[in-house]
């Protein structure tokens, strides 16, 4: 009798813990959506890492999926429905694998950032006058990071026919035509390149992305363990109400 009561009490505890953890999963889903969105917007706004924006997108999709998975977990735990708890465990396992994969992809990308940023900046400077979007992306970056060109303001040597002008977004105080003839004028423009600042900015964002995905995955592993314990209790026929 004591043994049965002990199992019954333990299973009941697992039931309520799983219900509570599904609320945590809901918060994790929200966190993934926020982190993924911030990183994706950072990538797209720089116009350098558009081709690498898939990993943050995966995390956003995973975050949305967690909302629905948490529903199966809550209902399955509360109603002691083995089918729903099993479905919850299977879906959660898939989500954990995807999150770990996305975190690894983010970490790998972080190691490749110097080369990616260098190539991207050269391409952005070369295509500066192609479209308004290209110009806006570069201008926003240079104003925000307070820099000029990739490695230095010399990268804009072919910006004008005189080879002495830079975009106005390089200026310390941005006004119309402030960059004319100022390619080496440290009093008027920022002469330091954007590459170091941009690398640091993107590495910080990518690190938060990878760490966030891993933390959420490890929290979910706890929920997966609880789901498996509850499934076993339900299958064994114990009353956990």
Residue 225 pLDDT greater than 60, yes or no:
yes
Distance between CA atoms of residues 204 and 194, nearest Å: 15
Would you place residue 56 in the very low, low, confident or very high pLDDT band (cuts 50, 70, 90)? low
pTM: 0.57
Domain boundaries, the chain: 2-122+201-235
Would you place residue 153 in the very low, low, confident or very high pLDDT band (cuts 50, 70, 90)? very high
Would you place residue 5 in the very low, low, confident or very high pLDDT band (cuts 50, 70, 90)? very low
Instruction: Report yes or no: 89 and 227 within 8 Å, Cβ to Cβ.
Output: yes
- Of these ranges, 17-26, 71-80, 105-114, 190-199, the one predicted with the greatest mean pLDDT is 190-199
* pLDDT for residue 43: 52
Taking the CA atoms of residue 179, residue 180, residue 181 and residue 182 in that order, the dihedral angle to the nearest 10 degrees is -10
Residue 96 pLDDT greater than 80, yes or no:
yes
């Amino acid at each position: 009798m004591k043994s049965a009561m002990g199992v019954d009490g333990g299973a009941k505890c697992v039931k309520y813990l799983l219900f509570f953890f599904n609320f945590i999963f809901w918060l994790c889903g929200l966190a993934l959506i926020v982190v993924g969105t911030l990183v994706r917007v950072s990538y797209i706004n720089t116009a350098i890492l558009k081709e690498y924006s898939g990993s943050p997108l995966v995390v956003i999709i995973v975050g949305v999926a967690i909302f629905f998975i948490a529903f199966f977990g809550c209902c399955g735990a509360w109603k002691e429905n083995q089918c729903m708890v099993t479905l919850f465990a299977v879906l959660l396992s898939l989500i954990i694998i995807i999150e770990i994969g996305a975190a690894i992809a983010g970490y790998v990308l972080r190691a490749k950032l110097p080369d990616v940023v260098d190539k991207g900046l050269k391409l952005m400077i070369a295509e500066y006058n192609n479209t308004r979007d290209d110009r806006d992306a570069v201008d926003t970056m240079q104003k925000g990071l307070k820099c000029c060109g990739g490695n230095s303001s010399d990268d804009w040597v072919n910006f004008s026919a005189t080879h002495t002008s830079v975009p106005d977004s390089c200026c310390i105080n941005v006004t119309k035509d402030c960059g004319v003839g100022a390619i080496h004028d440290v009093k008027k423009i920022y002469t330091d390149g954007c590459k170091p600042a941009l690398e640091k900015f993107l590495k910080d964002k990518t690190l938060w992305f990878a760490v966030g995905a891993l933390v959420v995955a490890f929290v979910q592993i706890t929920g997966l363990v609880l789901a498996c314990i509850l499934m076993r209790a339900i299958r064994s026929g114990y009353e956990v109400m």
